[in-house]
Amino acid sequence: MLSFPFSPPHGTAVADRGCHIGNVVRFQEVLNSMKKLLKTFFLLSTIIVFTAPFAYSAPHTITFGDTTNYWTGWGNGEDDNTPTVGIPNLTGGSAEVSSGGYLTKVTMTQDSANSSYYGVLSAGDLFIDTNANKIWDYFIDLTDWTAAGETNPNPAARNYSILSVALPLGDKSSNPGYILSGTDGANGWAGYNIRDGHPVAVDRSAVPGTPTGQNVQFTGWTDLYDESWSFTFPDGVIFLGGEFAIGWTVNCANDVIYETMGNPVPEPATMLLFGTGLVGLAGLGKKKLLKKGI
Ligand SMILES: [Ca+2]
Ligand SMILES: [Ca+2]
Ligand SMILES: [Ca+2]
Ligand SMILES: [Ca+2]
């Protein structure tokens, strides 16, 4: 440093030293930029660490009621204002969600007197719309019949395959692939009044569904009065999203469940966006370094 202004032995040496100083200055700039980048990185890491436990909530239970008489688009006119045609009177239930946002259990409840008519009732398939966009994403094929009627056998207590599907909710003018309940006094319901023409199960000859390789454990449907029925799902199979819907009814569709629920767990897309932001920031830092001559 001291010798620089006094004894430049020749031109090239000056140029060399000038270049040298230039490098030192650049190195300092790079060092500063790297420090800034590291600061940003640690700040963001801290934010991630401290917000992560809040982004994914603990396992929770969402209760639902029975607020609809029929699936949207599936009114039949005559039964639309009747919450329950005879029995059973479904009352709602609960959906249990894991800390990762996956469905782990659905419980259905009912409140109706025991009745000999239970002998003709049987459970329909369970439908799950994971983002409440009116397209069913999964169904549990509890039924092994191809037409609804008083002789439908009961689904036993056992494991049932979880099938993935992209089945529109649809409407009665364009049935996208359901087995319908039937008709008052006909189509398997001689002597009975029912909720006519409502989806009760998937018509697997039209919509086979894709097995996920995972099973749900159903508590079984009997001819006796049951207070509730439940479906237990393995964690990590059905991701629910911010909003989801559940549909279920019986073979006569006398009472129908179609409930949409909000889920406090954020969708992975939110985390993905956050991640993309981080990568973007890192990229910005690198660009700055490049501009400064690295
Ligand atoms: Ca009801
Ligand atoms: Ca859906
Ligand atoms: Ca009817
Ligand atoms: Ca209902």
Ligand with the closest atom to the CA of 111: 1
Q: Is 22 helix (H, G, I), strand (E, B) or coil?
A: helix
132 C-alpha to ligand 2 centroid (Å)? 5
The count of residues in the chain is 294
pLDDT: which is higher, 129 or 290: 129
pLDDT at 16: 47
Strand partners, 64: 93
Strands 126-129 and 103-110: unpaired
pLDDT: which is higher, 31 or 240: 240
Confidence band, pLDDT 50/70/90 cuts, at residue 20: low
Ligand with the closest atom to the CA of 68: 4
Are 185 and 193 contacting, i.e. CB atoms less than 8 angstroms apart? yes
- How close are the terminal C-alpha atoms of the chain, in Å? 25
Sequence-ordered list of residues with C-beta below 8 angstroms from that of 248, at least 6 positions apart, any chain = 90, 108, 123, 124, 125, 126, 127, 256, 257
* 35-77 pLDDT tens trace: 787 776 666 655 554 554 444 578 999 999 999 999 999 999 9
Task: Report which of 131, 138, 112, 129 is spatially closest to residue 250, judged by C-alpha positions.
Answer: 112
Q: What is the pTM of this model?
A: 0.73
Q: Is 181 helix (H, G, I), strand (E, B) or coil?
A: coil
* 187-239 pLDDT tens trace: 999 999 999 999 999 999 999 999 999 999 999 999 887 889 999 999 999 99
Name the residues around ion ligand 3, CB cutoff 5 A. Answer: 79, 184, 196
195 C-alpha to ligand 4 centroid (Å)? 11
245 C-alpha to ligand 2 centroid (Å)? 8
The tokens describing 25, both together, are 């200055």
222 C-alpha to ligand 1 centroid (Å)? 19
Ligand with the closest atom to the CA of 79: 3
pLDDT: which is higher, 17 or 199: 199
